Structure 1
Amino acid sequence: VYICHALTGDAHAAGYHEGADRPGWWDNLIGPGKPIDTNRWFVVSSNLLGGCSGTTGPSSIDPETGRRYALDFPLLSIADFVTVHRRLGQHLGIAGWAAAVGGSLGGMQVLDWALTHPEEIDNAVIVAASSRLTAQNIAFSAVGRHAIMRDSQFHGGRFHEHGASPDRGLSVARMMAHITYLSDAAFAEKFGRQAQRQELSRNFGVDFAVESYLEYQGQRFLSRFDALSYLYLSRAMDYYDAFADEGALDALVADPVNTLVMSFDSDWRYSTKDSRRIVRHLEGAGVPTTFREVQSPWGHDSFLLELEPYHATIHAFLDRAWERR
C-alpha cells in the first residue's frame, strides 16, 4: 500500500522513527489491526519531489552550479509527484500496488495515479481532496506565497546564500493555512473568545487563545519546513485540473480501479462538493466508486483524526480489497 502525503507532510506516516518524539502523522490509521493493517499490508511512504524532507527540491544543490536551485528549480505538477512515486516502486521491484491512499494533496496524487497509470494500482482511497482548486483556495495559496516572497529576508529565493530565512513570511503563511484547516465550529469549541491571560492587554499583542495557537503553529513550522518548498508545492496544487483534458478518463475506463472517495461535512477547504465532483466524473465513466461523507466538526484536519465512521469506512474498503486479492 502506497501512502501519499499532504502539502506539509513527509514520509514519516506511522510509528516512531529514530530520534522522533512523536509518531507519524497518520499513526492512528496505519498499524497492526488499524484500517491500513500492517499485519496484512506492506506500507510504503516517501517524501514528495520538491519537498524538504529528503527528496530533491528547490533547496537542494544543483550539481551543475554547486548552488541551491532556489527559483531556478522547475515548476512541478501533481503528475511529477506520481512519476517519482512510480520510479520508487520500480526501484523496489514492486510491479503493482494493492492500494494508493492519500488525504488532501495526497488524495490529489492518488487521483492522478489512478487516472494516468491505473494498471499499477488495484484500489484508490481519496480523502478530503479536490480534482481542481477553487478560486478561493488559489487565493489562500497566493496570499501565503506573497507573505514569503515579500519578506525582506527572501532575497529573491537566494536567502540561504545570505545566511537568512524568510521566517516571518513562512510563519504568516502557515498561520493563515491553519485557519482554513479548521471549521468555524472547531475554532469555537477549541478557543471561543478565551483570553490568553487573566487581564487583556488592550494593545496589539497576543490577547486571545486563538492568537496564541496560531503564533505557536507558525513558529513551530519554521523548524521543519522550507519556504521554497512551500512555494513550489502550493503552486503545483493551483495548476492541477484532473479532468480538464477530454481523454482524462480513458486509461481508467480501460483498466478500472476500485475507488473510495471520502469527505467531511465541515471541511470548507476541500468540501464535499469537491469530492462529489470527483465521484460524478468517475461514476459517469463507469469506474467502481464508493463515496462517504463523514460528519465531523473539525474541518479539513478531520482527515488526520481518529474518527470512528471515517476509519471504519477505510477498514471495510481495504477488507474487501484483501478478499479480492
Structure 2
Amino acid sequence: MSVYPPHSGSQSVILAEDKAMPLDCGTSIRDVKMAYCTYGTLNADKSNAILVCHALTGDQFAASKQPITGKNGWWDQMIGPGKVLDTDKYFIVSSNVLGGCMGTTGPKDINPETGSPYGLNFPIITIGDMVRAQALLQDYLGIDSWFSLIGGSMGGMQVLQWASAYPERCFSAIPIACAARHSAQNIAFHEVGRQAVMADPSWQGGDYYDSETKPTAGLAVARMAAHVTYLSEAALHRKFGRNLQDRDRLTYGFDADFQVESYLRYQGINFVDRFDANSYLYITRAMDYFDLVEDHGGSLANAFQKTPTRFCVVSFSSDWLFPTSENREIVHALIAAAANVSFVEVETDKGHDAFLLDTPEMFKTIQGFLQSSAKSRGLTDE
C-alpha cells in the first residue's frame, strides 16, 4: 500500500519522456514536467483515487498552503479528514494544468531547443491537452480508473473532457458550474483580459522573463475584470454596496473611493505575485477553444454515448458566468446518452465563486453522491 501524508506538498514528475505527447494544435511536446499534490492514502487496489481539477487561476495546492501567498489551499474547505473529499477514505490528487505556472510545463519554462523561456513559442494548448497530460500522470501513479473526478469552472470542463475521452478511466464525475462549450460572452471577457496583458508595455511580446519589469499592471487589470464575473450583483451589493473606502466623503478624483474598487485592486495586486501573464493568455485561450459539441459532430450526447461513468452535475442559481441553463444542457445530453446522472441547482446569491466558498447544499450533494458511488464500487475503509 502506498501511503501519502496529508498536506504533503507539491511533487513533480517528468512525463512523455520516451514518446512525445501529441497536442490538438498539430504539434507535440515531450519531457512534460507535471507538478501535483496528494492527500490521503491510496488503498491496496488503487480504487479510491479522486482527481481534483482546478479552475483558471487555481493550482495543485488545493488543500496545502500556497507557497507564494502563504494562504490555505483554494479547496481547503472540501479536502481533509472528515470533509467532503475525506482523506480518511479517499486518495486525492491535484495537479497543476499543462500551460500553468506552478511547476507544470508552461510558457515560463525553458524551451530545450533555444535554452530560453518558451514565452509565445510555447504551443497553444487545449482542455483536451491538459487532460491528456493528466492521463499520463494517472499512468505514472498506476491508477487504472479514478474513483471520481471533480472540478468547478475550467475544472468542470476538464471533468467533462475526461468523461468523454477516457470513460473507462473514470468511475464517476462531478462537473460543477461549467459548460460543454465556452460562450461568446465568456470568450469576450477573456479577450478583454488578454488585451489588457498585451497592452502593458512590460509584456514585451511575451519575452519579459529576463527583464526587470513584468506586465503586472496589465495582468492585474485582467484579474480585476475577470473577478467581477465570478460574483453576482447580489453578492457585490451585500459585500460592498456603495460604501466608501476609509473615508466619509467623495474625493472627486480617481482614487479608490468605493470599497468595491479597493477590493478589486487588492485582487489584482495579489494575483500578479502568484501567476504568470503568458500562462493567463494560454489558459484562457484553452477555455475559449473548448467545445465538446463541435468535437462530436454537433451533438453533445455523442460525447457520452454508452458511457459507464456516473455523473453528478452541480450549478448555482446566481451564476451568470456559467448559468444553470448551460449545466442543464449537459444533463440533457447525458440523459440522451442513457448515462447515470443526477443534477442539483444550488440556491445561492454567491455567484460563480460559490463552488470555492462555504456552500452547505453543495457539500451535502457531493458527499451523498460520493457515498452512493463508493457503495456501487464496493469501496472498503481499508
Whether these two folds match at TM > 0.5 is: yes
- 1:308: how far off? 1.1
1:103–1:126 Cα contact (<8 Å) kept: yes
Query: Are residues 1:296 and 2:348 paired?
Result: yes
SS in 1 for 2:305: helix
- Tell me if the contact between 1:7 and 1:233 (Cα under 8 Å) persists in the aligned partners: yes
Which of 322, 326, 331 is matched with 1:274 structurally?
Answer: 326
Q: Is the 8 A contact 1:131 1:278 kept in 2?
A: yes
Aligned: 1:150 with 2:199: yes
Q: Which has a greater percent of strand?
A: 2
Letter in 2 for 1:284: A
Cα pair 1:182 1:267 within 8 Å, conserved: yes
- Name which structure has the greater RCO, CA cutoff 8 Å, separation 6+: 1
Counterparts of 2:330 and 2:358, CA distance in 1: 24
Change (3 A) 1:170 1:251: closer
C-alpha contact 2:293 2:303 (8 A) present in aligned 1: no
- Residue 229 of structure 1 aligns with an amino acid whose one-letter code is S
Q: Is the CA contact 1:115–1:248 (under 8 Å) kept in the aligned structure 2?
A: no
Q: Give a deviation string over 1:4-55, Cα, whole Å, max 9, x none.
A: 0000000111144678733211111111111111111110011010000000
Partner of 1:175: 224
Shift of 1:130: 1.0
Superposed CA deviations along residues 75-99 of structure 1, whole A, max 9, x for unmatched, are 1111100011110111111111100
Instruction: State TM-score, norm by structure 2.
Output: 0.83
Q: How far apart, CA to CA, are the structure 1 residues paired with 2:347 and 2:67?
A: 36
Q: Which residue of 2 aligns with 1:322?
A: 374
Q: Deviations over 1:188-246 (max 9, x none)?
A: 00000000112321111110000000000000001000000000000000011012222
| Structure with the higher fraction of residues in helix conformation | 1
Q: Of 209, 213, 219, which residue of structure 1 is paired with 2:263?
A: 213
Q: How is 1:29-40 mapped onto 2 (pairs within 5 angstroms)?
A: 29-40=78-89
Quote the Cα distance in structure 2 between the aligned partners of 1:304 and 1:17. 15
- Aligned residue pairs, count: 325
1:258 aligns with 2:310: yes
Q: Which runs of 5+ in 2 are unaligned?
A: 1-49, 378-382
Matched letter for residue 27 of structure 1:
D
1:31 corresponds to which letter in structure 2?
G
CA contact (8 A) 2:61 2:73 kept: yes
Name the TM-score, length of structure 1 as normaliser: 0.97
Deviation at 1:57, TM superposition (A): 0.2
Partner of 1:231: 281
Alpha-carbon RMSD: 1.4
Structure 1 counterpart SS, 2:117: coil
Runs of 4+ that moved beyond 6 A: 17-20
CA distance in 2, matches of 1:250, 1:300: 28
State the partner residue of 1:126. Answer: 175
Q: What is aligned with 2:62?
A: 13
Give the superposition deviation at 1:163: 2.7
Q: Alignment partner of 2:217: what SS? A: helix
Q: Which amino acid aligns with 1:225?
A: F
